Amino acid sequence: MRQLVLTLTALALLAAIPAAADETCQSPFLPKVTGQEDFIYVWTLGVPGVGDGNDSMVTVDANPKSASYGKIVHRAPVPGRHEAHHAGFTDDRRQLWAGGLDTSQIFVFDVATDPAKPKLVKTIKTFEKDTGGLVGPHTFYPLPGRMLISALSNKDGTGRTGLAEYTNDGKFIRAIPMPAEAPYGYDVRVNINLNRMLTSSFAGKKNYMRPVGELLKDAEAMKQFGDSVVVWDFHARKPLQVLRIPGAPLELRWALQPNHHYAFTSTALTGQLVLIHRQDDGTWAAKNIAEIGANIPVDISIAPDDSKIYVNSYGDGTLRVYDVTNPFEGKLIHQVKLGEQANMVSTSWDGQRLYATSSLLSNWDKPGDHWLKGLAWEGGQLVPKFTTDFGGVGRAHIMNFGAR
């Protein structure tokens, strides 16, 4: 009953603010709203010697009818560099929470008062203390009235980690440890129709803050990556099953249609597109459905009708599109070279537009340009629409959509 009340409250609050466009891979507690996005909020890594050198929330105009289409229209810096990585809206869409993987600080931006100009209104510096030693806040996933956060590491730098919950006003609620047999963490995603939550796995701070060339030569360190996806009872926050998926399964994406009881992930180190599906007996299984290759796939996005999976690869800077109409068999149908490297990819709810960014981690990024790119489907092809140069502000990482 309490969960129902919270959800209805969130819906009422949402109705009081303008409709906006969402990326498809959002929480079910962030009600689906469609339309043309006006802004892309890009959580951006600061770079020494570039501007003030600080991490920042950068606003890019995404409306093709605007005179400033594809251009940076605002920048909201935070003090210092924190390894800016991921961000997510609260369930009422009034705030955007963003985290630093290095310092474990969380920055809360007001995006409701003036959607074009996010404003830093709160900084949470107690994540490690609150959670009993978790560090590296990664995914920010809205629940009714609260924020669920996955952490990448423990204060000892290992991948032994867990989840944390805060109220929307920043009060700590609880920490939830990962199961002992699957201690690594990365992404978290919920399917409320099935009462199931999935978590994936990456590596601890000793690995993700290390220069990638040095890391790849360290055989022992390369053994310290996750190989699991955990299936949870969402309401009880209780782990039910551990699926072994070798090679660091990263982003998780539930199918969006209510009769599709499956999700997708990709493995960074083994280059597989993986289906996670419910079996007839109610248990879950994983199946490799496409060979992406040894180019370090790092982010995926799903089409609104579940027909396609978009995969960005860090190693070769390529966006690949897979037909997953039959989810047990991924077929490569299209690819676009984006640059020397690529990271995040986001799909609009109408399935017509895609956005991609370049930066992965400060010690992993290759020399060269950093950007946000907008693409659109035209005549069965993904056509470039704009490239926003981030050379004067930092390195573009995760994206969230906003509207006036």
Tell me the per-residue pLDDT of 254-293, one tens digit each, with 9 for 90 and over: 999 999 999 999 999 999 999 999 999 999 999 999 999 9
Output the pLDDT for position 336.
98
Residue bearing the bigger pLDDT, 10 or 309 = 309
Output the pLDDT for position 33.
74
Q: What does the alpha-carbon distance between residue 59 and residue 74 come to, in Å, rounded to a whole number?
A: 5
Output the pLDDT for position 404.
85
Percent of the chain predicted with pLDDT > 90 = 92
**Domain residues for 183?**
2-402
**Confidence band, pLDDT 50/70/90 cuts, at residue 14:** very low
Q: What does the alpha-carbon distance between residue 229 and residue 245 come to, in Å, rounded to a whole number?
A: 7
Output the pLDDT for position 15.
41
Tell me the per-residue pLDDT of 159-190, one tens digit each, with 9 for 90 and over: 999 999 999 999 999 999 999 999 999 999 99
**Confidence band, pLDDT 50/70/90 cuts, at residue 5:** very low
Q: With 60 as the cut, is the pLDDT of residue 19 above it? A: no
Q: With 90 as the cut, is the pLDDT of residue 327 above it? A: yes
**Confidence band, pLDDT 50/70/90 cuts, at residue 380:** very high
Instruction: State the sign of the Cα–Cα–Cα–Cα dihedral 11, 12, 17, 19.
Output: positive
C-alpha to C-alpha distances, 324 to 143, 276, 380, nearest whole angstrom: 28, 13, 16
Burial 206-239 (b: 16+ CB within 10 A, else e): ebbbbebeebeeeeebeebbbbbbbbbebeeeeb
Q: What does the alpha-carbon distance between residue 230 and residue 227 come to, in Å, rounded to a whole number?
A: 10
H or E element at residue 306: none
> How many structural domains comprise the chain?
1
Output the pLDDT for position 23.
87
Output the pLDDT for position 13.
40
Contacts for 312 with CB less than 8 Å, ≥ 6 apart: 297, 298, 299, 300, 318, 319, 320, 338, 342, 343, 344, 345, 356
Q: With 80 as the cut, is the pLDDT of residue 7 above it? A: no
Q: What is the mean pLDDT of residues 64-82?
A: 98
**CATH code of the domain covering residue 137:** 2.130.10.10
Output the pLDDT for position 171.
98
Output the pLDDT for position 238.
98
Output the pLDDT for position 191.
97
Output the pLDDT for position 388.
98
Tell me the per-residue pLDDT of 184-239, one tens digit each, with 9 for 90 and over: 999 999 999 999 999 999 999 999 999 999 999 999 999 999 999 999 999 999 99
> 3-state class of 164 per DSSP?
strand
DSSP 40-97: EEEEEE--TTSTT---EEEEEE--TTSTTTTSEEEEEE-SS---EEEEEE-TTSSEEE
Q: With 50 as the cut, is the pLDDT of residue 11 above it? A: no
For residue 203 the two structure tokens come to: 């590596």
**Confidence band, pLDDT 50/70/90 cuts, at residue 22:** confident
C-alpha to C-alpha distances, 27 to 274, 282, 385, nearest whole angstrom: 21, 23, 28
Kindly list the strands in the beta sheet with 162-167, ordered across the sheet, starting from the edge strand earlier in the chain: 134-143, 146-154, 162-167, 172-177
Of the candidates 172, 173, 127, 181, the one whose C-alpha atom is nearest the C-alpha of residue 154 is 127
CB 50 within 8 A of CB 362: no
- Site of tokens 């997953």: 324
| pTM of this structure | 0.94
Q: What does the alpha-carbon distance between residue 275 and residue 372 come to, in Å, rounded to a whole number?
A: 28
DSSP type of residue 182: S
Q: What does the alpha-carbon distance between residue 300 and residue 292 come to, in Å, rounded to a whole number?
A: 12
Output the pLDDT for position 265.
98
Tell me the per-residue pLDDT of 305-319, one tens digit each, with 9 for 90 and over: 999 999 999 999 999
Output the pLDDT for position 31.
77
Instruction: State the sign of the Cα–Cα–Cα–Cα dihedral 236, 227, 274, 30.
Output: positive
Percent of the chain predicted with pLDDT > 70 = 95
Q: What does the alpha-carbon distance between residue 21 and residue 399 come to, in Å, rounded to a whole number?
A: 12
Q: With 60 as the cut, is the pLDDT of residue 12 above it? A: no
Q: With 80 as the cut, is the pLDDT of residue 16 above it? A: no
Q: What does the alpha-carbon distance between residue 237 and residue 162 come to, in Å, rounded to a whole number?
A: 11
Q: With 90 as the cut, is the pLDDT of residue 34 above it? A: no
C-alpha to C-alpha distances, 191 to 65, 162, 186, nearest whole angstrom: 36, 19, 17
CB 252 within 8 A of CB 187: yes
CA 93 distance to own-chain centroid: 16
Q: With 80 as the cut, is the pLDDT of residue 4 above it? A: no
- Site of tokens 């419910």: 278
